[in-house]
């Protein structure tokens, strides 16, 4: 039995923990994977790391050694007791018992930067898979003052997040992620790296937040509204889906807008670049 598996089963037994499926509890037991996460996150002694869903603290232990400070946000109260016991000797850990979707991360980061000598903020997590997308969207749309997000998520979702607009595996979220960051694949992770084993293959990805916006002077709300509408009916032509969503008044107007952007009426959402969607946005708002 590997050491991490031994440690994990020992802690679960000691605290009478049964993994809670509805909270997405799949605990990491693979040191190779953990080392890859830690290395790719490039954590230094001037960094604040925010860990979402620390669970039993497997990843936390490594983060605490590398970072200036670690703030863990965990929903399950049972995990809080374990984390407090396990890391009572560390003075660089703060634990927040809350739903990450309810935490005001912006104020938290501002406050930390104000009161300590923190240079960069990095998010690291083995995310609960039942809310992967809402968490990623929150992290990006809140425009947090962070440098990167290194997360383990379902492979299927990961591939969509880090696809390039125009690739095959895209969805509306591909464009949002691409707008805010440059994504890279770190490592594919099999079921056997967790207990209990999840039903899907996992993947670690790193999202490096862009320092400069990739598209300047754009009405983001309209841009993302158009992208979402285009992918809602991705089998349809862009002209049909944007007309059905009332982005275009009618097909006539839609044809003019698309032609003015240098696009054909029978083009589909997945063939467009982010710049194409930006052109449509500006043309509509003209
Ligand atoms: N980091 C641990 C590891 O790698 O072994 C546990 C990862 S487990 C996949 C996901 C963790 O997220 C669980 O500990 C779960 O309780 C926690 N969690 C689930 N929903 C959450 C939420 N809304 N906010 C914060 N934590 C949550």
Question: pLDDT by residue (tens digit) across 34-56?
Answer: 999 999 999 999 999 999 999 99
Label each residue of 96-120 as H, E or C.
EECCHHHCCHHHHHHHHHHHCCCCE
190 shares a domain with 56: yes
pLDDT of amino acid 265: 86
125 shares a domain with 56: yes
Which residues in the chain show pLDDT less than 50?
Answer: none
Q: Contact at 8 Å (CB) between 38 and 51?
A: no
Q: What is the CA radius of gyration of the chain?
A: 21
Ligand 1 geometric centre to CA of 99 (Å):
10
State whether the beta carbon of 17 lies less than 6 angstroms from ligand 1: no
177 shares a domain with 132: yes
State whether the beta carbon of 73 lies less than 6 angstroms from ligand 1: yes
pLDDT tens for 225-244 read 999 999 998 889 999 999 99
* CATH code where residue 271 lies: 1.10.8.100
The count of domains in the chain is 2
247's tokens? 């982005």
pLDDT of amino acid 1: 66
pLDDT of amino acid 88: 97
6 by Cβ neighbours in 10 Å (0-12 / 13-18 / 19+) ranks as exposed
Substitution candidate for ligand 1 out of 19, 59, 75, 77 with most atoms within 8 A of CB: 75
Which residues span the domain enclosing 94? 3-209
Ligand 1 geometric centre to CA of 56 (Å):
9
Closest CA to 268 of 165, 195, 194, 184: 165
232 shares a domain with 143: no
Which pTM value belongs to this model? 0.95
């Amino acid at each position: 039995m590997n050491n991490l598996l031994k440690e994990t089963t020992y802690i679960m037994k000691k605290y009478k923990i049964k993994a809670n499926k509805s909270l997405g509890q799949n605990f990491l037991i693979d040191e190779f994977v953990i080392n890859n996460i830690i290395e790719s996150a490039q954590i230094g002694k001037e960094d604040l790391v925010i860990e979402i869903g620390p669970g039993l603290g497997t990843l936390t232990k490594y983060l605490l050694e590398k970072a200036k400070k670690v703030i863990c946000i965990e929903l399950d109260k049972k995990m809080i007791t374990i984390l407090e016991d396990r890391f009572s000797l560390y003075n660089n850990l703060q634990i927040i018992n809350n739903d990450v979707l309810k935490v005001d991360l912006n104020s938290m980061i501002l406050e930390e930067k104000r009161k300590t000598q923190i240079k960069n903020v990095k998010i690291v997590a083995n995310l609960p898979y039942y809310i992967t997308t809402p968490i990623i969207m929150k992290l990006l749309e809140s425009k947090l003052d962070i440098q990167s997000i290194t997360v383990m998520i379902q492979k299927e979702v990961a591939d969509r997040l880090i696809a390039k607009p125009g690739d095959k595996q895209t969805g509306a979220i591909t464009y949002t992620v691409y707008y805010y960051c440059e994504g890279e694949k770190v490592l594919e992770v099999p079921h056997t790296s967790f207990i209990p084993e999840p039903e899907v293959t996992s993947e670690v990805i790193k999202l490096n937040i862009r320092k400069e916006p990739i598209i300047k002077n754009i009405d983001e709300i309209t841009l993302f509204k158009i992208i979402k509408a285009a992918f809602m009916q991705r089998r349809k032509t862009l002209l049909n889906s944007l007309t059905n969503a009332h982005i275009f008044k009618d097909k006539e107007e839609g044809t003019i807008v698309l032609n003015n952007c240098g696009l054909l009426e029978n083009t589909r959402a997945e063939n467009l670049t982010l710049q194409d969607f930006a052109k449509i946005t500006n043309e509509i708002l003209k």
